[in-house]
Structure formats: structure tokens, C-alpha cells
Amino acid sequence: MTTTAAPFTLANKNALILDKQKMMSSMSLIENDDSHNLVKKMIQARIIEIDQWLLEFDKINSNHSQFMDYLLTDDIKETQSKKRSKKIY
């Protein structure tokens, strides 16, 4: 799965976290010699891509949560306002 095309879902987030863990584990097994530098660079690039996707996911999730909190707070204020206006009459 490429992160640039992956929808921002919790299932994709979990799958990418697992992919990242596997890649990091693989990196620790790769020998430190010149013949493996390209492979390590490719894995590092993929890990960076996953990290960027995860940051964007968290940002979107946070914005969504804040928006839902705002809607809930606004709904509560509106309900309280309606109750007050009924008491006046």
C-alpha cells in the first residue's frame, strides 16, 4: 500500500504502523556495508513516507475531534438558550 494513495482510516493507520515496525526490524538485520546502502536508503525513505502519513492522519483526526467538540458545544449552548427562552414566556 502506498501511503500517498491510502485513505485516512484507522485500519490503514494500523497497517502502516505494522509495516513500519517490520521495516525497522529488517533494517536492524541488514549488514552495514556498501552493498546494502541502497536497500537501507529505500527503507528509510519508506519509513519517512509512513511517518508523514501518520502525522497527517493525526492532524486530520485532531481537527475532526475539535470540530465535533465545537458542534457539540454549540448544540448544548443552543439547547440551553431554547430552554431559557421558554422559561421567559
Q: What pLDDT shows up at residue 33?
A: 78
**Residue 87 pLDDT class (50, 70, 90 cuts):** low
pLDDT single digits (tens) 34-67: 888 999 999 999 999 999 999 999 999 888 888 8
Summarize the confidence of residues 7-34 as an average pLDDT.
91
Evaluate if residue 1 carries a pLDDT over 60: no
CA pair distance 6, 20, nearest whole angstrom: 15
The more confidently predicted of residues 10 and 5 is 10
Q: Could you tell me the residue ranges of all domains in the chain?
A: 10-88
Q: Are 6 and 12 in contact (CB under 8 A)?
A: yes
